[in-house]
Amino acid sequence: MHTKTIAELARGLRSGEFSSVELTWNFLDRITQYQNLNAFITVTADQALAQAEAADKKLAAGSTGLMTGIPIAQKDIFCTDGVKTSCGSKMLDNFIAPYDATVVTKFNDAGAVMLGKLNMDEFAMGSSNETSFYGPVLNPWDTNAVPGGSSGGSAAAVAARLVPGVTGTDTGGSIRQPAALCGITGLKPTYGRVSRYGMIAYASSLDQGGPMTRTAEDAAILLQTMAGFDEKDSTSVDKPVPDYLASITQKLDGLTIGLPKEFFGEGLDAGIAAIIESAVDEYRRLGATVKEVSMPNLKYAIPAYYIIAPAECSANLSRFDGVRFGYRCENPADLTDLYTRSRGEGFGKEVKRRILIGTYALSAGYYDAYYLKAQKVRRLISEDFKKALSDVDVIMGPVTPSTAFGLGEKTGDPIQMYLSDIYTIAINLAGLPAISIPAGFLNAMPVGLQIIGQYFAEDRLLNVAHQYQQVTDWHQRSPKGFE
């Protein structure tokens, strides 16, 4: 059963081929079997089986919901009522959320079965899933390599067939980059498409939740459940949610693809460039035309991001002070000691680094020089995308400059780690949707193709991705030992 996609599992459940309880046990057994990957922080077996039993009753009564009885898992950044929500941090190791995030509520209402909470970089800060308080996640394609981050547990769990679909979050590439490094499909929706209520904030103007699955069709099913306006989230956009499955079968005749010349310069592995070019050639055979586009301000994306994101992180993480919830130091001498030791002991190195950078950028005398200037650059990058997308339907390029790197290879060099997101960060700054899909292998490791679209054009991205997956089999490959 673990080899089936969500669409196939939904058909099997509705036809009575197997029950949700049987399906849930199957995946719980695999999670136990492959716990060495460290993909899960918490496994909610009892809750999952209770949800599966309830789903079977709905199915017996004639429920036709595509998510009814389907096992999923949530990135441990989404609050789950009565279940630990740690954000991969010692700071929240003892935090039991008193409510569900809107995304969690939507899946519960749809009849999905939650298997547990997935490992992640601490407070979503990282590109390798090595900053987690619970230890690094291993890439199932090579357990000496990273799975990417911050949604590394999500990507590894899907790639290893521990769960058919999961949630992730993307602040600067944290859905797409691990999806590419683990050979799965990952969609970052338009900013405001998916509610952020109950999703613990890193950088509020950049964070966005999205689905991570094996196929574009499955991503469409999950996004259908996740998307929609939420009055509890002031950044949520009140815009109708289309039927994402309705358009995925459309042919691509007349599609115009833009290739940014800035994506194919120095720093990109030649092998990855060749794989991306091969994927674009496949789109030509599917009826698309290709033209070069230019976005000259993309080179400023990383410096702008690493001013804006840490600044927002500095503000958001100020709430973790040892007073109301989360980690609290022992025997504080006074209030100042409580604050400094609780935060000093509760946060990891990378989180502290970003808080310090953000606090500095927001401080008197530096706000105009750094934060305000970064926001102006952000607008220029958005205008670059707007201009490029006025001439083409989608933009394509690599997701990462290299395949998955080794565990510990970049932990001592934060700048090199930050450059892992060089092709993804600009999309978050602009608030656009983008998807990563498997496009080939380089030295036996997965390579992802990134497809970027117009605002709220997730249906078009899913269509473009799905059509590619109808004529290729990269998304069907399994890591050795996890078949």
Q: Catalytic residue numbers?
A: 75, 150, 174
Q: Cα–Cα distance between 423 and 374 in angstroms, integer?
A: 18
> Going by C-beta distance under 8 Å and a sequence separation of 6 or more, which residues neighbour residue 287?
251, 252, 253, 254, 255
Phi and psi at residue 145, to the nearest 5°: -115, 160
Cis preceding-peptide flag for 20 (omega within 30 of 0) = no
Note whether 178 and 160 are within 8 A (CB): no
Per-residue DSSP letter, 275: H
Q: Cα angle at 373 between 371 and 379, to 5 degrees?
A: 105
Sign of the dihedral through C-alpha 301, 302, 303, 306: positive
Give the integer Cα–Cα distance in Å for 441 and 454.
28
Structure tokens at 480: 């050795």
What is the bridge-based pairing of β-strands 445-452 and 256-260? unpaired
**What is the rounded CA–CA span in Å between residue 292 and residue 290?**
7
User: Which DSSP symbol is given to 80?
Assistant: B
Please list the alpha-helical segments (H only) found in 72-121: 102-109
Q: Coil, strand or helix: which one is 257? A: strand
Residue 241 CB coordination number (10 Å): 16
Sheet with 40-43, edge to edge strand ranges: 40-43, 113-118, 71-75, 165-169, 209-213, 185-188, 434-442, 445-452, 394-398, 256-260, 289-293
